[in-house]
Structure 1
């Protein structure tokens, strides 16, 4: 039987994605915490090699396509945080996804930006993975990031 972590990584690799090493925390928090069969992950923003990939707000400084790519990067960082906490992604499933979009007051396409994160999660865990989510607009995010995602994962008893 094929290892789920290998499947997750190979699926992402086939799309040109790599699960990164999580960025160094910039404040007083831990990347994630296991409680029972749940892994609560801290919010992730779109870092690439310890550098924020973009700053600004959707509808002002950041385009929809850029926002989707940034949400995808944040999702990949969540994979890295989950792997760091658990040591593997075997037996992991998405329980809930929250997507926060820093945006201009008139911006109303939060759900489209969130698709960037949902698409990465579906690619990683398979087309049958259900992704319950919330997407909201906010006036600002840490370090002037355009997007932040927060994941709640379930861990199967294998």
Structure 2
């Protein structure tokens, strides 16, 4: 089953690619390796999921934000070659805007990891880091970046 068919089966529509606000590009390709810029939990209306996980928002709120970042990552990955069938995720680095005593950063980033595997199966499996930050830009809940490989 193609990735497009899998997305349709799951009822998932990828978001439109956003335009970077600052001086960077959404991804940078070096041969068959692709570096995705950090993806943030941007809603269709242009607003963001904000708050400190373990403070003014829950673990589930954090997972929701990580899944939304994952949708943006898939949209960016698709833009690299035109098809998600041509890529695999190698590494994911998740940053959680967390309260000082929060300890479940990995659980939050699971929202993204589970989505990648759900859509891409084996090509969505990846190495991962999940860390807590004292703050993130605009008080967003999560930011996630990734390294991919073009397989075709």
Change (3 A) 1:98 1:72: same
- TM-score normalised by structure 1 residue count: 0.88
Q: What SS does structure 2 have at the residue aligned with 1:47?
A: coil
Partners of 2:73 and 2:45 lie apart in 1 by 14
2:73 to 57, 71, 78: 78
Partners of 2:122 and 2:111 lie apart in 1 by 15
Instruction: Give the C-alpha shift of residue 21 in structure 1.
Output: 1.1
Runs of 4+ more than 3 Å apart:
none
Q: What SS does structure 1 have at the residue aligned with 2:94?
A: strand
Which segments of 5 or more consecutive residues in structure 1 lack a partner in the other structure?
Answer: none
Q: Which residue of 2 aligns with 1:87?
A: 82
- Cα deviations across residues 1-25 of structure 1 (Å, max 9, x unaligned)? x5xxxx2233233333211111221
Which segments of 5 or more consecutive residues in structure 2 lack a partner in the other structure?
Answer: none
Partners of 1:12 and 1:62 lie apart in 2 by 29
> Is the aligned partner of 1:61 residue 2:56?
yes
Q: Calculate the aligned-residue CA RMSD, in Å.
A: 1.6
Partners of 2:39 and 2:66 lie apart in 1 by 9
1:140 to 135, 139, 149: 135
Change (3 A) 1:8 1:138: same
Q: Which residue of 2 aligns with 1:11?
A: 6
- TM-score normalised by structure 2 residue count: 0.92
Q: Which residue of 2 aligns with 1:124?
A: 119
Partners of 1:52 and 1:146 lie apart in 2 by 12
> Is the aligned partner of 1:42 residue 2:29?
no
Partners of 2:8 and 2:107 lie apart in 1 by 24
